[in-house]
Structure formats: C-alpha cells, structure tokens
Amino acid sequence: MHFTRARDLVVAGVLATGVVYLLVTTSYGDLPSIPRLAGVTLLVLAIVEAALGASLRSRIRDRGRDRRRPVQALTAARAVALAKASSLLGAIMLGAWLAMLGYVLPRRAELTAAAADTPGVIIGVGCSAVLIGAALYLEWCCQTPDDQDNQPPEYRSGPAA
C-alpha cells in the first residue's frame, strides 16, 4: 500500500470545485442558507484522527519496549483506510467549500444571502483543510520503521539512505 499522493487529492478537489461551482451558479437562489458551523463536523473528525494518530504512533514506536499494548496489524490497516478515506473526503469538501467561496465572496456586497453565507463557507474551508492534514498525519503515524525500506525513494520520509 502506498501513501496518499498529493495529486490524487488535488484531482478530487479540482473536480469537486468544478461540479459544485456549476451547481451553485445555476441554483444558488434555491439553496437554504449555510449555517455558520456547517463545516465543524469535519473539524471534529480531524481532532479524533489526530488523537488516534498520536496514540498509534506512540504504541508503534514503543513496540519493542512495551508489550502491554501492541498494535495489531488489522488495527493499523483500518486506521490507514480511515486516513485515506478522510483525506479524500477532506479534498472533496475543500473543493466544494472553495467553489461556494468563489461564488459568495464576490457577490456578498450585492446579495444579502451571500454575505450571510460567507462566514460559514470560510469555516468550512478551514475545517476541510484541517481534516486533510489530520488524515495525512494519521496515515504517517501508522508506518513502522520497516515501511521505510519497502517504499520507493519518492515515498520515503526523512533523509535518503
């Protein structure tokens, strides 16, 4: 299994941006107002993933010294699957929120609804970006020192051997 590639996330985000922008331009007047805290659920998921990553990282690093809480391979695989799915979700949502921002920001002076939606959209953009970072951190935390030897040079972290 390879680490999540930035280009995969960028492609998903750009596609989401295009699709959502087309939908918003054609039907913005029919959409309900955006709650200010609409994107906070992504932040909650990011916090959970960052905490899980920190926990797994310490357990994986201490695997030789602390036999009480070893990380099972299936647990690590599930965490990596969660991280990959969450980073993709974050990229798609970031694209969607950026499309909304691209629509409401220039129109907030002329449309009251756009002015009211702008803070919620900005919070959504920030929370989506934080989710991407937390998901990539969780994925990074699940690697073992042995993983470095099995990765091609462009996927290795740290100094080249």
Burial of 127 (C-beta count, 10 Å sphere; 0-12/13-18/19+): buried
Evaluate whether 19 touches 154 at the Cβ level (below 8 Å). Answer: no
C-alpha span between 36 and 32 (Å, rounded): 12
State how far the Cα of 135 lies from the Cα of 142, in Å rounded to an integer.
11
Residue type, 32: P
Using DSSP, how many helices (H) and how many strands (E) does the chain show? 5, 0
Residue 48 CA to residue 134 CA, distance in Å, equals 9
What lies within 8 Å, CB to CB, of 90 at 6+ separation is 9, 42, 46, 128, 129, 131, 132, 135
Measured between alpha carbons, how far is 133 from 140 in angstroms, rounded to an integer?
Answer: 10
Q: Give the pLDDT score at 38.
A: 92
Q: What is the pTM of this model?
A: 0.83
Q: What is the pLDDT of residue 155?
A: 52
Position 89 scores a pLDDT of: 97
DSSP 33: P
What is the pLDDT at residue 161?
40
Cβ atoms of residues 24 and 100 within 8 Å: yes
pLDDT tens across the length of the chain (161 residues): 678 899 999 999 999 999 999 999 999 989 899 999 999 999 999 999 999 999 888 887 776 565 666 777 788 889 999 999 999 999 999 999 999 999 999 999 999 999 999 999 999 999 999 999 999 999 998 886 665 555 555 555 544 44
Query: Which of 52, 38, 4 is CA-nearest to residue 128?
Result: 38
